[in-house]
Amino acid sequence: MKTYDKFDGKSILIWGYGREGKSTENFLKKCANPAKIDIFEGKRDELKPDGYDYIIKSPGIVMDDDPPGFTSQTDILLEVYKKNIIGVTGTKGKSTTSALLHHVLNECLDRDVILLGNIGKPCLDYFDSIRDDTIVVFEMSCHQLAHARYSPHIAVFLNIYEEHLDYYHTFDNYFRAKCNITANQTGDDILYIGDQVPEIPTEARKITVSRGDTPHFELSIPGKHNEYNAYVVFKIATEQFGIDPDRVREALKTFKGLPHRLCFIGEKDGIKYYDDSISTIPNATIEALEAIGDVRSVIIGGLDRGISYDILIDFIKAHDEYIYIFAYESGQKIYESVKGPDNRILVSDLKEAVEKAKSVTPRGSSCILSPAAASYGYFRDFEERGDRFREFCGL
């Protein structure tokens, strides 16, 4: 069994005891031999690091400084298994791209391929399952990358938009967290980067993936943005693993998509419903509307995290062919900028939004939940929001 000797005889503090904190405790007991393991769930100014050799922080906990001795599940896995890891980040598309890459490599290679990170189980749950030839596809959120001191062998940086400003306060802080996916790469490493991402310093061999160069792929998931995600996967599979292009295209065809990501959930009383609850920024909502050919109504709104909605407001003003139903804090904010025409409707919550959609969406067309906002404050997470949408639709 693979062990992590760095912690042997050391005093360890686990900061945060949610799903990842519990996973860290299991990892320490199974794969390391520390002298002491303590748990802390308070804030940074309440933390007393004296007496601990290492503090393992859960992602999402706010920490503005970056002192030595602090580490994370992400750094531990990257430190030991960097050469095995393909790390995928970006504001949008990272889950689909990670899952699609895992699917293609799993279909085309006779090797063990593991999908982990932000998309699934905490990464250290797999620590003693990774062999020398295992390929690890690691979906990496900004929170997982924020204080990372290691980077993966193959990094993928899809795109960057305003997001999580309630946590990072400025776009530059958020962008810097994402940049850690390549900050510690060397000349032996590879960075696939979208052409929309600003120039960033890197020692890695950089391969720019342009949206304008995206070829057509036969996919079961809709949208030009997903063709771009597939193009990134296609390039990695063919260029880094030498897989025949035709075989990659065949594997791409069989990927079924992920829940809550522009997912068709059913038809009721002549209206087709799509769950795009993962949409937390305006660009994602616009992409959803452009992806579904017969969409007529869209439900928008959630927590206002201080991002700009200007691009969506301009889109709404230019596209009167859709019926826009707004709810919650950000929905009301957008509505105030576009109110007037009958196709722009303000409601109080998701349940009322669905009831309104049932009455105004023409039979034979589609309705999308694509909020352009976070779910927090109204739902536990975007999964619960999508589940409630399905329930309210009667599906």
Helix (H) or strand (E) holding 238: helix 224-241
Res 164: pLDDT: 87
Tokens representing 395? 């599906």
Res 297: pLDDT: 98
Give the separation between CA 242 and CA 328, rounded to whole angstroms.
Answer: 49
- Condensed to tens digits (0 to 9), the pLDDT of residues 42-86 reads 999 899 999 999 999 999 888 888 889 999 999 999 999 999 999
Length of the chain: 395
Q: Tell me what the mean pLDDT of segment 224-228 comes to.
A: 97
Are 329 and 301 in contact by the 8 Å Cβ rule? The answer is: yes
Res 127: pLDDT: 97
- Condensed to tens digits (0 to 9), the pLDDT of residues 96-107 reads 999 999 999 999
The CATH H-level superfamily of 263-393 is Mur ligase, C-terminal domain (3.90.190.20)
pLDDT band at 232, cuts 50/70/90?
A: very high
Count CB neighbours of 177 within 10 A. Answer: 21
Res 32: pLDDT: 97
% of the chain surpassing 90 pLDDT: 94
The ranges assigned to domains in the chain are: 5-71, 74-253, 263-393
Res 166: pLDDT: 84
Please tell me what DSSP assigns to residue 58: P
Res 202: pLDDT: 97
Res 60: pLDDT: 81
Are 53 and 39 in contact by the 8 Å Cβ rule? The answer is: no
CA-derived radius of gyration, the chain: 22
Q: Do domains 74-253 and 263-393 have the same CATH topology?
A: no
- Condensed to tens digits (0 to 9), the pLDDT of residues 242-287 reads 999 999 999 999 999 999 999 999 999 999 999 999 999 999 999 9
- SS3 sequence, 324-376? EEECHHHHHHHHHHHCCCCCEEECCCHHHHHHHHHHHCCCCCEEEECCCCECC
Res 141: pLDDT: 94
Whole-Å CA distances, 148 to 77, 141, 157, 180, 184: 11, 11, 15, 6, 9
Give the separation between CA 156 and CA 81, rounded to whole angstroms.
Answer: 17
The CATH class of the 74-253 domain is alpha beta
Are 180 and 169 in contact by the 8 Å Cβ rule? The answer is: no
Are 34 and 11 in contact by the 8 Å Cβ rule? The answer is: yes
Model-wide pTM > 0.85: yes
Structure-token match 């932000």, residue found? 118
